[in-house]
């Protein structure tokens, strides 16, 4: 999970992160209306599946299953877990699954890590698509623990590194059933988001996977990227006490998508989505995805109290929070991809 802009050194203190801090709170939404009595929304199209419904309970079960697959950076079992994730993408409905291997260096020690980004494509040849992304790696250092003796212990990562993956894997079959073949979705599971330590400045290795993707896309963009209209990045979305204010960098670079997401959430009665901006921007994978040409929004609860600690365990998650996020993203994507292209 990415640091806020005041901690931008976690992600290398790059100029783009510093520029995000300068933004004001300029993306307040109109006063909320009364939520619709029905949990459904009338869509501007006739979906193949007329009633796609996201299940928060299924997403929480998915978190439990994912926690059996070690994804901590440096763990010897990671490769088997990455293979399992690739199978999960295919089983969820991805018609094409790609791996993007790369090597990243931890700046403070010089240790190299063999990492892999995963891409699951629904309707790979479709001329229009939305990108849904999250990171799947979990942090090897619990450096926010009050006790320094625990700083070199791994973070379980139930919320930070797993909740977003669970939501996307549960969304993919619903989108596969509902979307017509001329619109598509690409799910990206980024690796190496947690590779870095506070204070590394320009040498920092955070967001390693999305950095690598953006660099490769600048050199030789994949064909599917040309049709990508928007991106939604999830990070720490399962907290029982979920609060989702608008992230300022998202409001700057993808204001129409922010408006659509938070309007859909309000219409569907998900009060976890708050209609004000947080004070400072966050450098997370959405920044690099935007750099790659996909204007992207970050959905994150940056105030999660177990962040980067040994307490980031499944008992702190709730199906209600996962449902609020999954349901909002599902109906936003359906509305976006079945409306005329802007």
Tell me what the mean pLDDT of segment 65-77 comes to: 96
Q: Please give the Cα distance from 136 to 90 (Å, whole number).
A: 16
Tell me what the mean pLDDT of segment 107-127 comes to: 94
**What tokens does 57 get?**
């309970």
Q: What is the pLDDT of residue 109?
A: 84
Residues 6+ apart with CB under 8 A from 324: 56, 242, 265, 270, 272, 273
Q: Chain centroid to CA 189: how far?
A: 8
Q: Please give the Cα distance from 130 to 22 (Å, whole number).
A: 28
Res. 106: pLDDT tops 50: yes
**Better-predicted residue by pLDDT, 48 or 259:** 259
**Better-predicted residue by pLDDT, 25 or 52:** 52
Q: Please give the Cα distance from 216 to 171 (Å, whole number).
A: 27
Res. 300: pLDDT tops 60: yes
Q: What is the pLDDT of residue 286?
A: 97
Tell me what the mean pLDDT of segment 247-258 comes to: 97
Is residue 339 very low, low, confident or very high in pLDDT (cuts 50, 70, 90)? confident
Residue position matching structure tokens 């790369």: 102
Q: Please give the Cα distance from 163 to 321 (Å, whole number).
A: 10
Ranking 15-19, 31-35, 45-49, 250-254 by mean pLDDT, the lowest is 15-19
Q: What is the pLDDT of residue 24?
A: 35
Class level of CATH domain 5-20+46-337? alpha beta
Q: Is the backbone of residue 145 left (phi > 0), alpha (psi -120 to 50) or beta?
A: beta
Burial 50-85 (b: 16+ CB within 10 A, else e): eebebbbeebbebbeebbebebbbebeebeebbeeb
**Number of C-beta neighbours around residue 173 at 10 A:** 16
How much of the chain exceeds pLDDT 70, in percent? 83
**Better-predicted residue by pLDDT, 168 or 338:** 168
HEC assignment per residue over 228-241 = EEEEEEEECCCECC
Tell me what the mean pLDDT of segment 11-18 comes to: 37
Radius of gyration over every alpha carbon of the chain, rounded to an integer in angstroms: 18
Is residue 283 very low, low, confident or very high in pLDDT (cuts 50, 70, 90)? confident
Tell me what the mean pLDDT of segment 299-312 comes to: 97
* Helix, strand, coil in percent for the chain, rounding step 5: 40, 20, 45
Q: What is the pLDDT of residue 50?
A: 53
Residues 6+ apart with CB under 8 A from 63: 158, 162, 163, 166, 238, 314, 317, 322
Tell me what the mean pLDDT of segment 290-309 comes to: 97
pTM of the model: 0.87
**Better-predicted residue by pLDDT, 46 or 165:** 165
Query: Best-predicted range by mean pLDDT among 4-13, 61-70, 193-202?
Result: 61-70
**Better-predicted residue by pLDDT, 60 or 105:** 60
Is residue 200 very low, low, confident or very high in pLDDT (cuts 50, 70, 90)? low
**What tokens does 192 get?**
């190496």
Mean pLDDT of the chain: 87
**What tokens does 321 get?**
């929070």
Res. 203: pLDDT tops 60: no
Q: Are 27 and 277 in contact (CB under 8 A)?
A: yes
Helical (H) or strand (E) element with 44: none
Q: Are 164 and 239 in contact (CB under 8 A)?
A: no
Alpha carbon separation from 238 to 206, 225, 275, 287, 322 (Å, rounded):
22, 29, 19, 22, 5
Q: Are 175 and 337 in contact (CB under 8 A)?
A: no
261-278 pLDDT tens trace: 999 999 999 999 999 999
Res. 21: pLDDT tops 60: no
Domain boundaries of the chain, sorted by first residue? 5-20+46-337
Tell me what the mean pLDDT of segment 84-94 comes to: 98
Q: Please give the Cα distance from 275 to 278 (Å, whole number).
A: 10
Res. 46: pLDDT tops 90: no
**What tokens does 238 get?**
């399962």
Q: Please give the Cα distance from 125 to 286 (Å, whole number).
A: 24
Q: What is the pLDDT of residue 244?
A: 98
How much of the chain exceeds pLDDT 90, in percent? 77
The DSSP secondary-structure symbol of 121 reads: E
3-class SS of residue 164: helix
Helical (H) or strand (E) element with 289: helix 285-291
Helices (H), 69-207: 78-91, 164-178
């Amino acid at each position: 999970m990415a640091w806020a802009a005041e901690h931008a050194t976690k992600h290398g203190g790059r100029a783009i992160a510093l520029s995000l801090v300068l933004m004001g709170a300029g993306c307040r939404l109109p006063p909320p209306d009364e939520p619709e009595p029905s949990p459904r929304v009338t869509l501007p199209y006739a979906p193949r599946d007329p009633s796609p419904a996201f299940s928060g309970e299924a997403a929480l079960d998915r978190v439990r299953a994912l926690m059996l697959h070690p994804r901590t950076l440096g763990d010897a079992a990671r490769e088997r877990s990455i293979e399992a994730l690739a199978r999960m993408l295919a089983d969820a409905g991805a018609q094409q699954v790609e791996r993007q291997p790369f090597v990243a260096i931890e700046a403070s020690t010089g240790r190299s890590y063999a990492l892999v980004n995963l891409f699951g494509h629904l309707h790979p040849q479709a001329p229009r698509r939305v990108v849904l992304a999250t990171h799947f790696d979990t942090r090897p250092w619990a450096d926010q623990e009050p006790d320094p003796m625990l700083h070199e212990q791994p973070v379980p990562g139930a919320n930070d590194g797993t909740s977003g993956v669970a939501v996307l894997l549960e969304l993919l079959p619903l989108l596969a059933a509902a979307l017509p073949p001329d619109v598509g979705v690409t799910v990206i599971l980024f690796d190496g988001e947690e590779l870095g330590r506070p204070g590394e400045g320009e040498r920092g290795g955070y967001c390693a996977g999305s950095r690598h993707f953006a660099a490769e896309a600048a050199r030789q963009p994949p064909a599917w990227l040309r049709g990508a209209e928007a991106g939604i990045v999830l990070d720490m979305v399962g907290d029982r006490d979920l609060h989702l204010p608008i992230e300022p960098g998202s409001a700057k670079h993808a204001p129409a998508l922010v408006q659509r997401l938070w309007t859909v959430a309000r219409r569907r009665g998900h009060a976890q989505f708050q209609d004000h901006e947080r004070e400072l921007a966050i450098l997370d994978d959405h920044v690099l995805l935007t750099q790659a040409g996909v204007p992207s929004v970050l959905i994150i609860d940056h105030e999660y109290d177990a962040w980067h600690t040994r307490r980031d365990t499944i008992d702190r998650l709730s199906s209600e929070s996962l449902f609020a996020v999954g349901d909002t993203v599902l109906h936003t994507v359906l509305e976006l991809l079945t409306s005329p292209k802007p």
